[in-house]
Structure formats: C-alpha cells, structure tokens
Amino acid sequence: MKRSILKNRRDFLKTSFAGVAGMTLLSCSSSGSEKDEAAKDDLVYRKLGGTGIELPVVSIGTGDTSDPGLIRAALDAGVKLLATSQYYGEGRNESMVADVVKERGRDSALIMTSAMPEGFNHKEGIFDENARVEPFINRFEESTARLGGYVDIFLLPFMAKRESVFYAPYLNVMENIKKQGKARFIGIATHSHEDEAIRAAVEARIYDVALVAYNFRKNNRKETSEAIAYASGKGMGIIAMKTMAGAYWDEGRKEPINSDAALKWVLQNEHVHTAVPGVMTFEELQKDIALMKDLSLNDAEKSDLRLSLNEKPDGPFCQQCGKCIPQCRKSLDIPTLMRSHMYAYGYRNLSHAHETISWALAETDPCRGCPSCSVTCAMGFDIRGKIAKIARLNNVPKEFLA
Ligand code: SF4
Ligand code: SF4
C-alpha cells in the first residue's frame, strides 16, 4: 500500500493499521533470509485487545541498544512492535528506531513511544503543583516529527495511583491526541501501584493499551494479574515490560536470571498480549524469538524461577513498592533511586540510569548527616549502600554516557 494514494494522514493511519492487523507477517525487506522466513512459522500471535492488531507475543524494547542492526534483525525475524521512549537518549533512540523502520516503509512496523510528563511526583505517584501540559505536548510533537508524522501507540508513562490516571489536564491532552489522529492508539505505562493504575485506565474509557511492569519476582503479581485479566476482558491491550526482573540475581552480574524462563512466565498469562523485553545483543534477540516455539515452562525453568523465594539482598531488582519512603529520615525517593540502580547494575544501561536518577536526586551524597539508616527494605537491600553507589552517577556528565 502506497502512502501517495491515501487522502490524508487519518486515512493513512486507518488503512495502514487495517493492513498491519490483517497481515500474518510484516512486509519485511528483502534482506530477510530463508532461515528468517522459516523461523517466522514459530511465532505465536495474540490480538492486542480491542485494537484488533495481531502481534507476535514477543515484541522488543529498544531502550537498551543504539545498534540499528539489532532493530533490523528483529524486524527480519517478524517482530512488529518496537517500544521506545522520548526520554531514551533525549530522542536519539526514537530516531534510530524510526530510521530503520522507514527503510522498509513507515507502516511496516508499529512504534510505541512515550514522553515525560511535566510536574509528575515520582515519589508520590501523582501529579503535583508543578504539573503543566505544554512541555508534554511539545515533547509529543517532537516524537511525532522524529517518527515520521504520527505515533502508532503513545503512552502516558509512570501512572500509579488512580488520582494520576484521572488527572484531568493530562486526560484531556491524551484524549485530544487520539481524536486528532496524531496517535492511532493511546495508553498508560505503569511501574508501581500497577493494579490501581490499570483499573483506573479502564475506567477512564479513553485508553487502548496498558504497558505494565510484570514479572515473576513482583510481590504484587497476584493483584496485577487480576487487574490485567479485568482490563483484558474490557478490551484493553496488555503489553508487559520489565519482564527480565533485573536480569541478574546479584549486583555483581555473576548470576544471570534464566531469561527464557522469566519471559515464558509472563507469556503464560494469555491476558498479556505481547511483551517488550529489552534486547542488547543478537543472541538475546534470537533467544527471545526462539522461545515462542514452546511457551511452556519445563521443570528446570520452574526451578530457576523458584530462586526468587530466596532473594539476594545485593540484587538489582526493586519491587517499587514504596514501603521505604515513609521510613527514610529525609523522605528520599528511594524507589526511583533503586530503579536507576537496576538500570545501571542489572541492565548496564548507564544513560537510562543517569536520566532516571535525575528525576529523584541532583547530589552525590544524599544520606550525608543521617546518623544511621532507618529503612527496612522489602527486598532486604542495604539501602544506604546502594544509594551511595548509584548517586555517584550524578558526578558523571551525561554526554559521557550517550
Ligand atoms: S527499595 Fe525496597 S522497600 Fe523500597 S521500593 Fe524497592 S523493594 Fe520496596
Ligand atoms: S541513611 Fe539515607 S536512606 Fe537511610 S534513612 Fe538516612 S537518608 Fe534515608
């Protein structure tokens, strides 16, 4: 289907999505080998809720790579949905993804992105008195330009408490973006209070999808699973992120989590329509794609997942439960600091760790003057020690990490 024969952008969006939804496979470039084509027979598809789009259950998150070759390989393998964000490398990740997709036709893949809301209090999970929509709209427009004039799926990230989802100025902005046809589908992303955010997003009645932090280590997985089932039943498309649960059991990266088992655990929930594991290497990509041959967990994989019953206190995975905040004498935004720690020590994505810590902290020794640490962590973390390690990132100019 050629763009030139379409009347306008809205027609293009409607038509191209109908095309994508109906296709068994993406119209990939001729670079796909016979092996790639054969491997596509093993892909497992699910419908992304009421959007009607059929997607392989494995999509990818692009935030951990700056290698366009990896994106090309994913598309060659049959991946349809690429998850990026405006705040990954200040738009550079979006541009890299968009350039690869445009090589084979902008409508050959779906690009999901998000922009940082202004005045969002990460610690409380709500908008605060500094909330303004204009910077967010500008960021969305920048994303739109980078991605070729439209966004396939646009997300409002960091939604947590119901109050944040129903914050009227942002609800109106998101609804307008969809009505104007600038994004074909809209949704929320949530890293904490996931069940509350998902249910609120359904009740808001404007959202098509929810991107949800969901994995076998989350203490709230029962509540989140119930909310996911509820939302899926109401026609919401469910996309899982943070599926690798920190990638390592230990901070020293000597004990990797069984990534196949972790991703299968997520995909065994049929209300999860696709997942966006971050990929850094061709090997990881290959493994993620290949596991669609058999989504069942074998005994060894089940055993590997049960290691979470004996969590290591020096691991990089934080529950994002927020139980530490009221215990801290300085009321630090510890969950955001620990998320930054996880990006640095678990995923070795220092650029994203640097960006994330900037939302919580500008100094390098926030615990200075505190006589002792009063925080007991749900994961048994040495909170003060981990903060001391990650806060050093604030001494590193961000251009060194790009
Ligand atoms: S640091 Fe510990 S208590 Fe705080 S959010 Fe993470 S897991 Fe929960
Ligand atoms: S040592 Fe740091 S984390 Fe612990 S209570 Fe004091 S300021 Fe909070």
pLDDT tens-digit series, residues 186-241 = 999 999 999 999 999 999 999 999 999 999 999 999 999 999 999 999 999 999 99
The closest residue, in CA terms, to atom 8 on ligand 2 is 328
Distance CA 174, CA 51 (A): 17
Whether the pLDDT of residue 164 is over 80: the answer is yes
Task: Specify if 314 maps to a domain.
Answer: no
How many alpha carbons fall within 13 Å on the CB side of residue 113? 35
Q: How far is the CA of 373 from the centre of ligand 2 (A)?
A: 5
Whether 114 and 61 map to the same domain: the answer is: yes
Whether the pLDDT of residue 179 is over 80: the answer is yes
What's the domain range around 72? 3-306
Whether 339 and 235 map to the same domain: the answer is: no
Give me the pLDDT at residue 33, please.
59
Give 91-148 as a DSSP string. Answer: GHHHHHHHHHHHHT-GGGSEEEEE-PPEEEETTTTEEEEEEESHHHHHHHHHHHHHTT
pLDDT tens-digit series, residues 187-197 = 999 999 999 99
Whether 228 and 332 map to the same domain: the answer is: no
Whether the pLDDT of residue 17 is over 50: the answer is no
The closest residue, in CA terms, to atom 6 on ligand 1 is 318
The closest residue, in CA terms, to atom 7 on ligand 2 is 367
Classified as helix, coil or strand, 222 is: helix
pLDDT tens-digit series, residues 317-362 = 999 999 999 999 999 999 999 999 999 998 888 998 999 999 898 8
Whether 202 and 297 map to the same domain: the answer is: yes
Ligand found nearest the CA of 366: 2
β-partners of residue 151 are 183
Whether 289 and 334 map to the same domain: the answer is: no
Q: What is the pTM of this model?
A: 0.88
pLDDT tier, 38 (very low <50, low <70, confident <90, very high otherwise): low
* Cβ 166 vs Cβ 204: under 8 Å: yes
How many alpha carbons fall within 13 Å on the CB side of residue 32? 18
| Residue whose tokens read 């973006």 | 177
Task: Specify if 317 maps to a domain.
Answer: no
Mutate to test the pocket of ligand 1, among 321, 333, 356, 374 (most ligand atoms within 8 A of CB): 321
**Rg of the chain (C-alpha set):** 20
The closest residue, in CA terms, to atom 2 on ligand 2 is 367
* Cβ 279 vs Cβ 287: under 8 Å: no
Mutate to test the pocket of ligand 1, among 123, 320, 331, 356 (most ligand atoms within 8 A of CB): 320
Whether 126 and 263 map to the same domain: the answer is: yes
Task: Specify if 268 maps to a domain.
Answer: yes
Burial 234-265 (b: 16+ CB within 10 A, else e): eebbbbbbbbbbbbbbbbeeeeebbbbbbbbb
Token reading at 186? 């809209």
pLDDT tens-digit series, residues 263-320 = 999 999 999 999 999 999 999 999 999 999 999 999 999 999 988 888 887 889 999 9
Triad 208, 117, 346: Cα angle to 5°: 85
Give me the pLDDT at residue 4, please.
27
Per the structure, how many domains does the chain have? 2
Q: How far is the CA of 385 from the centre of ligand 2 (A)?
A: 10
Q: How far is the CA of 328 from the centre of ligand 2 (A)?
A: 5
The closest residue, in CA terms, to atom 2 on ligand 1 is 377
The domain that holds 162 is classified in CATH as: 3.20.20.100
DSSP 58: B
